[in-house]
A and B are shown apart, each in its own frame.
Chain A
Amino acid sequence: AQRVTQPEKLLSVFKGAPVELKCNYSYSGSPELFWYVQYSRQRLQLLLRHISRESIKGFTADLNKGETSFHLKKPFAQEEDSAMYYCALNIPYGNNRLAFGKGNQVVVIP
């Protein structure tokens, strides 16, 4: 079955420190992975897609098929990075639905 695992629920980091959010997936096909972010009082929004290989707001994520991982990283955390982060796997057959991990609450301490 398709599954996304985000092991740490809460992550506290100091401003300027590196942050890494772990995401592992279980999927037999070729995965399409995403990171979504939800800032306080805002709607859920796309942060980045693995297929784009982009860096958004200083965040990057590399798909590692050998380790079935898609960890999100940023070298220097900022206070505005405090938010809820969700890793998601697109399941393309049928209806292109997303399977979400449980999410990581990131708190950046000034």
Chain B
Amino acid sequence: SAVISQKPSRDICQRGTSLTIQCQVDSQVTMMFWYRQQPGQSLTLIATANQGSEATYESGFVIDKFPISRPNLTFSTLTVSNMSPEDSSIYLCSVQALARPQTQYFGPGTRLLVL
């Protein structure tokens, strides 16, 4: 299975600021995804991070608020821009490995609190 790390693991931020979350995988993967898990809720897909092109966003999520980069096959970043308390959530990176394309592996998550 792929080993995924995320930085930071947690942060407390002031409203109006931005935070960039990093996701690093130990092997080349086909797909990388960013999810949000709000308190007491299930996981919601924000976007698919595409290598070398713009991310594919789900309904309700826009690039201006959640810009995503994926410069290579093992790394991606998600920025939460102009944060408000409603952005307080756990942000998860997940990947699909080349060897098992229908299985997703998840990072440990980044716990964000916006004051």
Mark out the residues of chain B between 48 and 89 whose CB falls within 8 Å of any chain A CB in the assembled complex: 48, 56, 58
Name the distance in Å between B50's Cβ and chain A's nearest Cβ: 8
Residues of A contacting B: mostly? strand
Say yes or no: A86 contacts B43, CB within 8 Å. Answer: yes
In the complex, what residue of chain A is closest to B107 when comparing beta carbons?
Answer: A43
Say yes or no: B105 contacts A102, CB within 8 Å. Answer: no
Q: Is A20 close to B, CB under 8 A?
A: no
Say yes or no: B48 contacts A95, CB within 8 Å. Answer: yes
How many chain A residues touch the partner (CB < 8 A)? 21
Name the distance in Å between A105's Cβ and chain B's nearest Cβ: 10
Report how far A86 CA is from B35 CA in the complex, Å.
Answer: 14
Across the interface, which residues of A come within 8 angstroms of B92, CB to CB? 44
Name the distance in Å between A65's Cβ and chain B's nearest Cβ: 18
In the complex, what residue of chain A is closest to B45 when comparing beta carbons?
Answer: A97
Across the interface, which residues of B come within 8 angstroms of A95, CB to CB? 31, 33, 48, 56
Across the interface, which residues of B come within 8 angstroms of A69, CB to CB? none
How many chain B residues touch the partner (CB < 8 A)? 22
Say yes or no: A98 contacts B56, CB within 8 Å. Answer: no
A45-53, A56-64, A74-82 - the one binding chain B: A45-53
Name the distance in Å between A46's Cβ and chain B's nearest Cβ: 6
Q: Is A100 close to B, CB under 8 A?
A: yes
Across the interface, which residues of A come within 8 angstroms of B14, CB to CB? none
Say yes or no: A100 contacts B105, CB within 8 Å. Answer: no
Report how far A100 CA is from B106 CA in the complex, Å.
Answer: 13
Say yes or no: B108 contacts A43, CB within 8 Å. Answer: yes
Name the distance in Å between B113's Cβ and chain A's nearest Cβ: 18
A binding-site residues for B, Cβ under 8 Å: 32, 34, 36, 43-46, 49, 51, 86, 90, 94-103
